[in-house]
Structure 1
Amino acid sequence: MGSRETWATRLGFILAAIGSAVGLGNVWRFPFITAESGGAAFLVVYLLLVAFIGLPVMLVEFVIGRESKQNVVDAFPAIGYGNWKAIGVIGSITGFIILSYYSVVGGWVIQYIFGSLTGAYTGSAEAYFGQVSSGLNTAGFDLLFILLVAGVVGFGVRDGLERAAKLLVPSVVGLMLFLAVYAATLPGAAEGYAYYLSPNLATLRSDALAILPAAAGQAFFTLSTGVGVMITYGSYLDEDRSLLRDGFVIMLADTCIAVLAGLIVFPVFFAQGIAPGDGGIGATFVSLAGAFTTLPGGRLVGTVFFVILLLAALTSAFSILEVIVSFIIDTTGIARSYATAGSVAGIFIVGLPTAFDLQYLTVYDAIANNVLLLLGGLLLALFGGWVYATDAITEFSKGLTSPQFIPKLWIWVLRVPVVVVLSYVLYQNILDVIQTIQTSLL
């Protein structure tokens, strides 16, 4: 087996990690979850959780990855804690499930790009979504999306992941800024901003606990935390990097792009009199496609928006597939091309039910995002804060230029606030997932 690949530049790593975080979670999932959960009140809780729950757990992943130089499963034995490798197994399974339905949604996006160019959804946005969201055509575009992802991952870390990130991430940001400026000119933009950015403090106090599960799930989904992505990406890092600085930059960039997505979506909603929260998992597609049919220059705006969505989906999917491929390569020693092809075949087969029935997609998302992702995060917090703490501080301190109390503060944040919050959220989400399964499939 050859030597392990590394990032060519710090910028390449940062952009690849941002690309992992900046995916459908920001541009597709974040607006409809925000709308369903109360607008600005949700945004406040979400931002707090990203900073004080998501970032500390992300740093645990970076530390494990950099010290071990291994994939998400073998990382734990490599640092002397083989009895905790179940965390890596859970992360791999979670990523596998997420990518199996994520690629289906990616296929929707490709169809919507064509729909914008041709005006296919002009007659009825809801009917068009029904056509593209399930059936043989959906399975075909699902396969197309996952093959695009495989094409990049197959080229490796430097020639695949890093090059793609350097091209796609700036493109996503530039196009989103263009649409945010456009959205600001729409009538009703002020009402959209008020809904999104002006929290009612009384509502926030009364609903904070109710908002917490959705906000925590979204925070972990958008940061790619709990899946093993950051363990895998961290394993390609050199030891002179400040993990705190890099983690903060990634968190800040991801959060800014998520907020930027809301600055596009909510003015469009209010400009067209669309009630936020309508449409559920298809809200971005049904509501926005309907709005684009009547907005000035709507066909062009719609095309740009769905191109953004596709680029964001690809950058995040690259990272999830890399977790699985990295594990296969390290475990079997087979060529990257074969590992990638085998992974894609399995992911496509597992995701087929979600291509033919939206209820399965809802269930997959509930299990992976609301339970497994948070379970992985909770186990990482317990491991990093209570088991691996001394070694974690040593590894974390390499390249650190900030005050030396920071590593110990990080450990105590993991030990208490992170564990308490994630335990509560996981319990609530398990109850909700049981209800979702009963409603959708039984």
Structure 2
Amino acid sequence: MNNSVDTVSRDAWATRAGFILAAVGSAVGLGNIWRFPFQVGQEGGAAFLLIYLLFVAAIGFPAMLVEFVIGRYTNRNPVGALAQLGRGLWGYVGWVFIATGFIILSYYSVVAGWTIRYTIIGLQDGYLADGAAAESQFLDVASGLDAIFFHAVFMAVVIAIVALGIKRGIELAVKLLVPAIIVISLGMALYAFTLAGASDAYSYYLSPDFGVIASNWTSILPAAAGQAFFTLSLGMGAMITYASYLEEDRNLAEDGAIIVGFDTAIAFVTGLIVFPILFTAGVDPADPGPGAIFVSLAAAFGDLTLGWLIGAVFFATVAIAALSSAISLLEVVVSYLIDEHDIDRVTATLAIGGGLFVLGLPSAWDLVLLDLFDGFADQILLVLGGLLLALFVGWKIPDLAVGELKKGIGPIDSWGTLWVWLIRVPVVIVLVISLALGILGYVEFLQDDFIPWLEG
């Protein structure tokens, strides 16, 4: 029996597959399909991919186990979990996760709304091959009343699923959504393999230039760390919350490896889809910015035979992936109200969902404001949350953490010691460096983009 005190009856996963698919669904989202390609393009192609994969294995997997043991041991949301285990300021660390999840979902829903609109565009009028026209089309979709409407549509769907609970809502949804993402992604990768630009795209995506790493490591390192945490749903409380619904006999290391493996594979496959399409259409993959993948891909689809259909399928897949992640982010904050304030699920979901919609309105109105929220969450809050949790588990409660990890695995003395020291030293060092560089990068964004926008 876990060392927690239940104030209300908590839900639980009906099956192991339900938990794994939910965690995979949380990890597989806009981070894989929207963010990952433009991060690869922006940070030097295969050079970024190599560092990102190293981060996932050496930092992401150990950090995921940290969140798992905290969640399962306490059966609590991030705030309740850290308040139960921590003393003094440590007891307040959970609020970092609540704030991160809240901020991310506010603009995440806006971007997900773009994917719905782009799916409809493909089925109605098709995509515009001309770059300038494609950019104008994106600006119409990405800001103003159009963006607000589809932000509202997406948030309404997320609210409906989370309000139904773990078994009838989240678990049922992910059992449909995640297999669909996998099947469609593999089919589109096979299609992309047949395109004329595939060979050059694979060279760009799979052959790292170590000179790029050496010259741009101050940019690549925080970007790779932020991407690894974003795509694995770490640092935002989702994995703590999902693990809090687990039974004690689950093998956390095995489940974590499966989740990390699926998430990384889908991100990798997304690159095999996107870059052949861009290279075939002659579009520069290094074009930066969160909207670039929409502009560039839409223009590329406009140049392809049956591009309207391929594009509609692609953007629909992105929308499905976004939904599977968004429900986990909403559940983080909803579980806090249920656990700590004894509020019923439907009321909590409606209240938080409504607040998220309002907070997302600035991001839906102007792209600079979306960048403001995204940079703060991705480069600072995600990494900060991961760093604080690593310090807490690695140095304050290592014996408790190893003991919880053993449940469902058996004796892991040497392996558990290795895990703790990975958390204590390399994970902490990398996250400290990434956080410092991320703060510097965010300050630069404020000076170069946000302040001129305010003054203009």
Q: Partners of 2:299 and 2:350 in 1: how far apart?
A: 37
Secondary structure of the structure 2 residue equivalent to 1:339: helix
Q: Which residue of 1 is the match for residue 363 of structure 2?
A: 354
> Structure 2 counterpart of 1:149, which letter?
V
Q: Which residue of 1 is the match for residue 203 of structure 2?
A: 194
> Structure 2 counterpart of 1:297, which letter?
L
Residue 129, structure 1, aligned to residue 138, structure 2: yes
Residue 95, structure 1, aligned to residue 101, structure 2: yes
Alignment identity in percent?
Answer: 52
Q: Which residue of 2 is the match for residue 73 of structure 1?
A: 79
> Structure 1 counterpart of 2:28, which letter?
V
TM-superposed deviation, 1:441: 2.3
Choose the corresponding residue for 1:392, options 398, 401, 413. 401
The RMSD of aligned alpha carbons is 1.3
Instruction: Report how many residues are paired.
Output: 442
Q: Partners of 2:168 and 2:407 in 1: how far apart?
A: 27
**8 Å CA contact 2:47, 2:209 repeated in 1:** yes
| 1:86-132 per-position Cα deviation (integer Å, ceiling 9, x unaligned) | 22100000110000000000111111011010125336211110100
Q: Which residue of 1 is the match for residue 46 of structure 2?
A: 40
Residue 57, structure 1, aligned to residue 66, structure 2: no
TM-superposed deviation, 1:205: 4.4
Q: Partners of 2:295 and 2:425 in 1: how far apart?
A: 41
TM-superposed deviation, 1:260: 0.4
| 1:285-333 per-position Cα deviation (integer Å, ceiling 9, x unaligned) | 1000111111121111001101100000000000000000000111221
Q: Partners of 1:394 and 1:228 in 2: how far apart?
A: 21
Matches of residues 279-358 of structure 1 in structure 2 within 5 Å? 279-358=288-367
| 1:32-75 per-position Cα deviation (integer Å, ceiling 9, x unaligned) | 00100001010010001011111111111100100001111011
1:201/1:434 CA distance change after superposition, 3 Å:
closer
> Structure 2 counterpart of 1:11, which letter?
A
TM-superposed deviation, 1:194: 0.6
Q: Which residue of 1 is the match for residue 268 of structure 2?
A: 259
TM-superposed deviation, 1:348: 1.0
Q: Which residue of 1 is the match for residue 113 of structure 2?
A: 107
**8 Å CA contact 1:54, 1:220 repeated in 2:** yes
1:241/1:133 CA distance change after superposition, 3 Å:
same
Matches of residues 208-287 of structure 1 in structure 2 within 5 Å? 208-287=217-296
| 1:218-249 per-position Cα deviation (integer Å, ceiling 9, x unaligned) | 00000000111111011000001111111111
Q: Which residue of 1 is the match for residue 171 of structure 2?
A: 162
Q: Partners of 1:339 and 1:85 in 2: how far apart?
A: 23
**8 Å CA contact 1:25, 1:218 repeated in 2:** yes
Q: Partners of 2:211 and 2:188 in 1: how far apart?
A: 32
- State the TM-score, normalizing by the size of structure 1: 0.98
Secondary structure of the structure 1 residue equivalent to 2:264: helix
TM-superposed deviation, 1:199: 1.0
**8 Å CA contact 1:120, 1:128 repeated in 2:** no
Secondary structure of the structure 1 residue equivalent to 2:430: helix
Q: Partners of 1:108 and 1:301 in 2: how far apart?
A: 17
| 1:312-367 per-position Cα deviation (integer Å, ceiling 9, x unaligned) | 00000000000000001112212111100000111111111111110000010000
Choose the corresponding residue for 2:155, options 120, 123, 146. 146
> Structure 1 counterpart of 2:85, which letter?
I
Q: Partners of 2:288 and 2:52 in 1: how far apart?
A: 21
Q: Partners of 1:80 and 1:429 in 2: how far apart?
A: 27
Q: Partners of 1:278 and 1:78 in 2: how far apart?
A: 46
Q: Partners of 2:145 and 2:278 in 1: how far apart?
A: 31
> Structure 2 counterpart of 1:376, which letter?
G
Q: Which residue of 2 is the match for residue 30 of structure 1?
A: 36
> Structure 2 counterpart of 1:360, which letter?
L
- State the TM-score, normalizing by the size of structure 2: 0.95
Q: Partners of 1:26 and 1:378 in 2: how far apart?
A: 22
**8 Å CA contact 1:71, 1:327 repeated in 2:** yes
Choose the corresponding residue for 1:86, options 83, 92, 96. 92
| 1:384-441 per-position Cα deviation (integer Å, ceiling 9, x unaligned) | 1100111111101111157531111000001100111100110011011111122222
Unaligned 5+ residue runs, structure 2? 1-6, 452-456
